[in-house]
Copies of this chain bind each other. A is one copy, B any other.
Amino acid sequence: MAVGMSTRATQAKAAVDIVTAFFGRIQALASDPEALDFTFGNPHETALPGLSAAIRTYAEPRSVDWFAYKTSEPEAQRVVAAGLAAELGLPFEPEDIAMTQGAFGAISLALALLTDAGDEVIVPVPGWFCYEPMLHAADLVPVRAELDAETFDLDVDAIARAITPRTRIVIVNSPANPTGRVYPASSWEALADVLERASREHGRRIWLLSDEPYRRIRFDGIAFTSPAAVYPWTLIDYSYGKVLLAPGQRLGYLALSPLIPVDERDELRAGLMPLGLAIGWGFPDAVMQYAVPQLETLSIDLEELTRKRDRLYAALTDAGIAVTRPEGTFYLWGRAPGGDATRFCDALAQRGVYVMPGTLFSQPHHFRISLTATMDMIDQALPRLVEVAADLS
């Protein structure tokens, strides 16, 4: 008798297995207080006092319905729309915003709104390792489009080649995990041309999902253009989990580009609440929604993050390691000395330094270092990184 997990669950689980296995190994670190953990984008310093203060403040009920069912709270929508309008120069309205449990929730909502079982969704490689499990769970077919192998720029031709009549969504991610690249407006213009042509050719609109959780984590004042300003059929997902470095408190949103033609935008707007309910009540906790006005302007210290990037980038480059200079995100992406990511990461782990092998991003020759580590951790780890690189080169 057929008993256990479904086919789509089995596929989703298989897509997570490489992460789960790595995660399990990292959790074992918890028992070693000397371990230097540069793996996931998790905090290594005490949380922002402003976050704790906001949660404490809004834990106190101000009305009888304080903890009643909350869909997207109007004040949260208003603050997000105003913030996005100022940031992206586009006339977002509160009704364009669905409050979600982080970017994961926003991506789930976008998939639920736009896709049917069997649709294809194009994902960047290297790219976030959770896109594919989420697509499998939603009965979708991930189709990989490689970024430029040297620069990790968006490769619009690769996306064009990946498009088929079943393509429904193209996911883009800038600032990009794991490469730290921020794509220029010209990339979006080229991509918009391709998507517009392909949509007309296949008689079905291809949507863009712009995954922007790192949007506010950029270095050196580099300009940012959202594809939502270039290609009208764009949805933006965002998480406060990065800029607050608090992914355990789920808060984010899905935003409809105000350039979406009005009839189509109205249809999607009307779908945001029902689909938010239908995917499993995907709205953030009441307290987190009340806190949005306070959290909207809160951020980790980007100057300190820049110093950490600069120190690691300079030291690794000096040691002869090929590193992509991050323009945004809190990751540093490099080519593993000796060419074998697993060997490099294992050798580092033996010296108590844990970095993420590129194998989690289907890139067995690369590694990722999280800049959420402290400067002290960086100081301790650098000599070992340099030593291992020398051994393996």
Binary contact readout A217-250 vs B (1 if CB under 8 angstroms, 0 otherwise)? 0000000000000000100000000001111111
Chain B residues contacting A8 (CB-CB under 8 Å) are: 112, 115-117
How many copies of the polypeptide does the oligomer hold?
2
**Size of chain A's interface in residues, with CB distance under 8 A?**
89
Nearest B residue to A136 via CB reads B278
Nearest B residue to A261 via CB reads B3
Contact of A281 among B102, B109, B199, B278 (CB under 8 A): B102
**A1-38 contacts to B (CB < 8 Å):** 1-9, 12-13, 15-17, 19-20
Q: Complex formed: what's the CA distance from A51 to B68 in Å?
A: 13
Binary contact readout A58-75 vs B (1 if CB under 8 angstroms, 0 otherwise)? 011100111111100000
Nearest B residue to A8 via CB reads B116
CB of B137 within 8 A of CB of A112, answer yes
Chain B residues contacting A52 (CB-CB under 8 Å) are: 59-61
Q: Complex formed: what's the CA distance from A252 to B48 in Å?
A: 27
**A96-134 contacts to B (CB < 8 Å):** 101-102, 104-105, 107-109, 112-117, 119, 130, 133-134
CB of A248 within 8 A of CB of B117, answer no
26 A-B contact pairs sorted by A residue (CB < 8 Å): A1-B200, A1-B203, A2-B205, A3-B264, A8-B112, A8-B115, A9-B271, A12-B278, A13-B271, A16-B278, A42-B68, A43-B68, A46-B66, A47-B61, A55-B56, A59-B59, A67-B244, A67-B247, A68-B246, A101-B101, A101-B280, A116-B139, A134-B279, A136-B278, A139-B139, A248-B286
Given contacts A6-B116, A12-B275, A55-B56, 8 further A-B contacts (CB under 8 A): A4-B264, A5-B267, A13-B271, A13-B278, A19-B277, A42-B68, A51-B67, A285-B285
